[in-house]
Amino acid sequence: MSWPTGTRALVLLNAKARSGESALQPVRDRLEAGGLRMTAEPFENLPEIARDVTRLHREADLIMVCGGDGSISSAAPAVIESGLPLGIIPAGTANDLARTLSIPLDFAAAADVIVAGHRRRIDVGTVNGHAFFNVASIGLSSELAQRLDPAIKKRFGRLGYAVAALRILVGARRFRATITEKGRTATVGTYQIAIGNGRLYGGGNVVEEDAAIDDGKLDLYSLEMRNLWKLVLMLRAFRSGTHGAWSEVRTAKCVEFEIATRRPMPINTDGEIVTATPAHFRVMPRAVSVFAPPDVAPAAGRFPLYHR
């Protein structure tokens, strides 16, 4: 694609992201070589992202977020309101949205995708008005998000996740919840309820075998086994999205869900705690235009060929 002279790219840079600071110069070089004029705007915390987009979008022709999945999701509402296309420079730990869209994890190559200009419209999930691209969850993943020290996350990446997850599994207990879809309500005992909008989450697990980020649906699963250590036997199924074949895993596909618990429980969206139960989940079909390679359908559980 040949961009018009003077096309303006607003880059929101999370310097606290695991690789955020090192991303800026190669991104700037590729954008400017492709004819884009880049303005960088650093942010220190997630609420700043939406404010920056709202404040600066009239000075840009496209918006880019250089950060992790939580940063990208935080920008979504303001990006939708602006009507501008979204570019992704994956600089987080898991980068599941980038993997879902086959966006390279190399910074310069990710910038090349934006320069190429191919766009794809994708869905956005919301819970109590908060946006997410990959997955929102109640239970184990929320506990992990709360207990994972940001310094450990930045230094050790996925290893830090694994150590924290093991500690949580040792003391995990089931909770009771009601799940409502299409007017039907089920009361369950569960360790975790997850609702996916995209395809990948948690560093490459698959939300559901047939899940897609542009199918206009949300995919729910609930872990209702009595012995949590059975999860070890299910690991391969979660990597391929076939966990719904296990009798202890409840699954559903719908455009809206209601989840209620006896006491308020925190909800983790794309790695960040943003709200609590009771919760209303819904999907916004094709709400955001993102820059992505033309071939965006990798096999289930497999990652693109681009890696840092």
State the Cα–Cα distance between residues 196 and 132, nearest whole angstrom: 9
User: 278, 229, 282, 269: which is closest to 141 by C-alpha?
Assistant: 269
Is residue 270 exposed (0-12), middle (13-18) or buried (19+ Cβ within 10 Å)?
A: buried
> At 45, is the pLDDT very low, low, confident or very high (cuts 50, 70, 90)?
confident
The amino acid that residue 192 corresponds to is Q
- pLDDT of the residue at 138: 96
Is residue 262 exposed (0-12), middle (13-18) or buried (19+ Cβ within 10 Å)?
A: exposed
The answer to whether the beta carbons of residues 104 and 303 sit under 8 Å apart is no
Does position 304 have pLDDT exceeding 60, yes or no? no
The answer to whether the beta carbons of residues 68 and 93 sit under 8 Å apart is yes
The position carrying tokens 């699963």 is 221
Rounded to two decimals, the pTM is: 0.86
State the Cα–Cα distance between residues 17 and 29, nearest whole angstrom: 20
The answer to whether the beta carbons of residues 41 and 49 sit under 8 Å apart is no
pLDDT digits (tens, 9 = 90+) for 128-183: 999 999 999 999 876 766 555 555 455 545 555 555 555 666 567 899 999 999 99
pLDDT digits (tens, 9 = 90+) for 184-237: 999 999 999 999 999 999 888 999 999 999 999 999 999 999 887 788 788 889
DSSP state of 22: H
Q: Tell me the average pLDDT across 94-105.
A: 95
DSSP lists the bridge partners of residue 89 as 66
3-state SS, residue 59: helix
Among the ranges given (152-161, 274-283, 297-306), the one the predictor scored with the smallest mean pLDDT: 297-306
State the Cα–Cα distance between residues 85 and 126, nearest whole angstrom: 19
User: 58, 292, 108: which is closest to 198 by C-alpha?
Assistant: 292
Q: Give percent of the chain above pLDDT 70.
A: 82
Is residue 182 exposed (0-12), middle (13-18) or buried (19+ Cβ within 10 Å)?
A: exposed
- pLDDT of the residue at 120: 97
Does position 258 have pLDDT exceeding 90, yes or no? yes
Q: Which domains does the chain have, with CATH numbers?
A: 7-117 (3.40.50.10330), 130-285 (2.60.200.40)
